[in-house]
Amino acid sequence: MKPFSRLGLAVVLIHSLISPNVSAQSQLNYTTSWIGNSFGFGDGKWMQQDIQAISVGANGTVYTNAPWDESGSEIAAYRAGDKLAVAGSTHGWGAAGGDAVTVNHTYLYAAMSIGNENNALVGADYPPANQTWYGVTRRTLANLATGAPFSGGIGNSANATKNSFVAVDTVKTGTDASIRGLAATDSELYVADTYGNRIAVYDAQSMQPLRSWSVASPARIAIDTDSTLWIISGFGTGNLSILHYRADGTALAGPLTLPAGTVPSDLTVTPSGQLLVADNGVSQQILVFNKGAGGQIQAGASIGTRNGIFHPVRGVPGDTRFNGITGIGVDAAGNLYVAQNGEGPRALGSASVGQGAVLESYVYGTRVLNWRLYGLSFVDSGAFDPATPASIYTGSKRFTLDYRQPVGHEWSYAAFTLDRFDYPDDPAFHEPRGVRGEPMVRRFDGQRFLYTLDPGAHYLNVYRFDAAHGEIAIPSGMLAQNPLPGAWPAAQPTYGEWLWRDSNGNGAVDASEISGNPSTGSTVGDGFWWVDEPGNVWLATPLSGVREMPLQGLDSAGNPIYTYASAKMFAMPAPFTRLARLVYVAATDTMYLSGFTSAIPWDPTHWKEAGPVLARYDNWSSGNPTLTYTVSLPWNTQSDPQTTTVGVAVAGNYIFVAELYTDRIDVYDARNGTAVGYMTPGASVGGTSGWVDVYLGISAVQRDNGEYVVLVEDDARAKLLMYRWTP
């Protein structure tokens, strides 16, 4: 969810109850830490979750831009491994960041858009109904939060960036006309009007238009030492090239000759005159071009490991092992800066925020690392490897923990497990948001498997591992509650449940590998998936009870086998009228369910919630399960903020329940349902977190020393919260 923007949604209030044993809880004695971000927010800083573009000042300050950061850090400044500033006024109330940024000695110029939130915002600050402005905001380098207004500037009359925006394109809402390239001298601003197929030039001081010329789908722009321009052309067309122009628009020699397969994503010129080109193709390198005698351009030695993070051991991060380069730059002292998001530049029309941001600096000549910043986790959660609580998976990352280290320093980034080059058919790319998230890690038959959910828990994805692919999670299977919107995969049923198993082991969804559910032919509703430790798949259906799909072994390619024919149904158990979450502990045949009852029925305004009631059932699989207890969970939809639940985790002797809006984890004794206490974010993370925004946003484990470690999604600041508690 986006608490910083006006959503315009009506909220239906329903009668609710708060259990007396909940309100009597006391705060536990625990520590709060975090995973996946270089800053915890206790210092007021966070590394943004996506970087689509950078510009480097002469002193080594790196300025960033992206269309969206959950806490409003779309445009920010970093230097020497520290965060210096957040520009603001690019988040909510119609405003968003963008895909380009540049600086001169006085100003920052950044791409952004201004909409009217489905026509809810009116007036001079907003575009007409059903339209969006795409253009450039100008800020002072001395204070990025302060606009540098100009005659004809518009927007943001209620804040410090008043009249500092120029609209380059006004388009129908839903059309992506984002500016994809900017470059500036102290006298002129060059704008890649990608939508308008032109380069537009503005006076850098007055912001008045000077001239323009045609370039097909222009993107990034670099100003050479001789004041000529290098421009990436063909963005979004699949036919990218790099063109050379004089500043007046006169075309120079033909396109720069690039190695076959190059996908240029950014370019810059070093102080000595070398042209650098970021390649977001399979090489994942920075190409170097030298100027020879007579002006000829000659290829030099590339920067970075060939294939980047996908070089053996595949998926292991390290120095110059790049992954989705979105921006490059060099400062006056000869330091190289590289921004990555695990994906590359945002595709036209995409709302992607990347696969996790990395910003790093190297000494240009020696390639020695200066510093590195991470913002790696967004709308995701963590799962412990059953083999060790020191190894944690998110949807696309693996972290290792050293619990002896100080708060915020326990984690290390160990692996990126998503391979977009070898496995473009990974179902995660085709599901809502296009990212892998909400993991469960299981080990059975001597093998390790990763299961993930989409944000709405409609689809359960299955991945296997093998030594040849290093840390990469290989697409292995998928269980779908309903067809995916769109044309992928072409062979999916038009209605009802279906599953895919990669029987030929190629990681692609082939038509012959898809099967529908012949028993019902209908959807099962918005259910919740769970995989138990032996590998059996459970589904808490909203209205039909619980279904188990027992593991049928592994096929010859090493994929877990699930079939609809072997499924078992369990009727809706009392006291529930609608189920929302499920945790099954196979070792003790214990089932934990949460959901809604006739006393507090489900309503569609709380579509993602875990419900107001939790129950434990013993001997679940016996055919005659015992309802051991029920617990009234925190639930008050009339409070501000509302008190509702969103996630359930069980470990050892305790149940951990995440509240959605209120930064709180409630703890219960799993043996009798008694409320034990609660945990909220500590000072190390600024005493706050974002909403828990996914169905499986919490997990827990008991270490051998008796300590419980609880991981919770922090939607706001690109990290996971980690609570450590010893009863």
Q: What is the pLDDT of residues 530-576, one digit of tens each?
A: 999 999 999 999 999 999 999 999 999 999 999 999 999 999 999 99
DSSP state for residue 457 in the 8-state scheme: S
Does one domain contain both 367 and 383? no
Of the given ranges (14-28, 363-377, 614-628), which has the lowest mean pLDDT? 14-28
Q: Which of 375, 393, 411 is the last residue of a domain?
A: 375
| pLDDT of amino acid 294 | 74
Task: Look at residue 430 and tell me whether its pLDDT is greater than 50.
Answer: yes
Task: Flag whether 8 is in a domain.
Answer: no
Does one domain contain both 222 and 354? yes
Task: Look at residue 25 and tell me whether its pLDDT is greater than 90.
Answer: no
Mean pLDDT of 169-189: 98
Task: Look at residue 521 and tell me whether its pLDDT is greater than 70.
Answer: no
Beta partners for 133? 114, 170
CA distance 606 to 506: 40
Does one domain contain both 438 and 486? yes
pTM of the model: 0.95
Of the given ranges (7-16, 137-146, 441-450, 463-472), which has the lowest mean pLDDT? 7-16
Does one domain contain both 386 and 370? no
Select from 481, 469, 443, 456 the least CA-distant residue to 560: 443
Task: Look at residue 18 and tell me whether its pLDDT is greater than 60.
Answer: no
* Average confidence score pLDDT of the chain: 94
Q: Collect all residues with Cβ–Cβ distance below 8 Å to 264 and sequence separation of at least 6.
A: 220, 232, 240, 242, 258, 277, 278, 279, 280
| pLDDT of amino acid 621 | 96
Q: How many CA atoms lie within 13 A of 344 on its CB side?
A: 21
| pLDDT of amino acid 295 | 75
3-state secondary structure 427-455: HHHHCHHHCCEEEEEEEECCEEEEEEECC
Does one domain contain both 574 and 695? yes
Q: Cis link prior to 427 (omega < 30° from 0)?
A: no
Does one domain contain both 332 and 215? yes
What phi and psi, each to the nearest 5 degrees, are found at residue 704? -60, -25
Task: Flag whether 7 is in a domain.
Answer: no
What phi and psi, each to the nearest 5 degrees, are found at residue 436? -90, 135
Range of the domain at 162: 38-375
What phi and psi, each to the nearest 5 degrees, are found at residue 406? -65, 165
Mean pLDDT of 299-311: 97
CA distance 422 to 276: 26
Q: Collect all residues with Cβ–Cβ distance below 8 Å to 276 and sequence separation of at least 6.
A: 267, 268, 269, 270, 286, 287, 288, 289, 303, 328, 330
- Beta strand residue intervals within 237-308, DSSP E: 241-245, 264-269, 275-279, 286-291, 297-299
Task: Flag whether 445 is in a domain.
Answer: yes
Select from 717, 604, 607, 709 the least CA-distant residue to 654: 709
Q: Scanning the structure block, which residue is given the tokens 């974002």?
A: 690
Mean pLDDT of 332-339: 97
CA distance 20 to 99: 51
CA distance 382 to 306: 30
Mean pLDDT of 708-719: 96
User: Which tokens belong to 491?
Assistant: 């062979």
Q: Is the dihedral of CA 262, 267, 269, 270 positive or negative?
A: negative
Q: What is the domain-level CATH number for residue 319? A: 2.120.10.30
Q: Give the confidence band of 161 by pLDDT, cuts at 50, 70, 90.
A: very high
**Do the Cβ atoms of 312 and 470 come closer than 8 Å?**
yes
Task: Look at residue 10 and tell me whether its pLDDT is greater than 70.
Answer: no
**Do the Cβ atoms of 109 and 184 come closer than 8 Å?**
yes
Task: Look at residue 403 and tell me whether its pLDDT is greater than 90.
Answer: yes
Task: Look at residue 9 and tell me whether its pLDDT is greater than 90.
Answer: no
| pLDDT tens for each residue of 139-148 | 999 999 999 9
CA distance 708 to 162: 50
| pLDDT of amino acid 21 | 41
Structure-model confidence comparison of residues 15 and 480, the more confident one: 480
Q: Give the confidence band of 22 by pLDDT, cuts at 50, 70, 90.
A: very low
| C-alpha gyration radius of the chain | 26
Select from 45, 27, 614, 93 the least CA-distant residue to 374: 45
DSSP state for residue 303 in the 8-state scheme: B
Mean pLDDT of 388-408: 97
| pLDDT of amino acid 122 | 96
User: Which tokens belong to 115?
Assistant: 């909409």
Task: Flag whether 9 is in a domain.
Answer: no
Select from 167, 157, 161 the least CA-distant residue to 200: 167
| pLDDT tens for each residue of 630-659 | 999 999 999 999 999 999 999 999 999 999
Q: Collect all residues with Cβ–Cβ distance below 8 Å to 148 and sequence separation of at least 6.
A: 106, 107, 138, 139, 140, 164
Q: Give the confidence band of 519 by pLDDT, cuts at 50, 70, 90.
A: confident
Beta partners for 319? none
Does one domain contain both 517 and 459? yes
Q: Which of 344, 375, 406 is the last residue of a domain?
A: 375
Does one domain contain both 479 and 364? no
Q: Collect all residues with Cβ–Cβ distance below 8 Å to 487 and sequence separation of at least 6.
A: none
Task: Flag whether 252 is in a domain.
Answer: yes
Task: Flag whether 10 is in a domain.
Answer: no
Mean pLDDT of 153-168: 95
Does one domain contain both 391 and 250? no
Q: Give the confidence band of 518 by pLDDT, cuts at 50, 70, 90.
A: confident
CA distance 544 to 542: 6
Select from 727, 611, 597 the least CA-distant residue to 671: 727
Largest CA distance in the chain: 87
Mean pLDDT of 580-609: 97
Q: What is the domain-level CATH number for residue 444? A: 2.130.10.10
Residue type, 285: Q
CA distance 634 to 653: 20
Q: Collect all residues with Cβ–Cβ distance below 8 Å to 162 and sequence separation of at least 6.
A: 147, 149, 155, 156
Does one domain contain both 427 and 303? no
Structure-model confidence comparison of residues 295 and 148, the more confident one: 148
Task: Flag whether 680 is in a domain.
Answer: yes
Task: Look at residue 702 and tell me whether its pLDDT is greater than 50.
Answer: yes
CA distance 439 to 165: 42
Task: Flag whether 486 is in a domain.
Answer: yes
Instruction: Report how many domains make up the chain.
Output: 2
Q: Give the confidence band of 526 by pLDDT, cuts at 50, 70, 90.
A: confident
Alpha carbon of 19 to those of 111, 401, 483, 638, 657: distances in Å?
50, 37, 39, 15, 14
Task: Look at residue 200 and tell me whether its pLDDT is greater than 70.
Answer: yes
Does one domain contain both 134 and 222? yes
Task: Look at residue 69 and tell me whether its pLDDT is greater than 60.
Answer: yes
Q: Which of 316, 344, 375 is the last residue of a domain?
A: 375
Does one domain contain both 326 and 412? no
| pLDDT of amino acid 659 | 97
Task: Look at residue 8 and tell me whether its pLDDT is greater than 50.
Answer: no
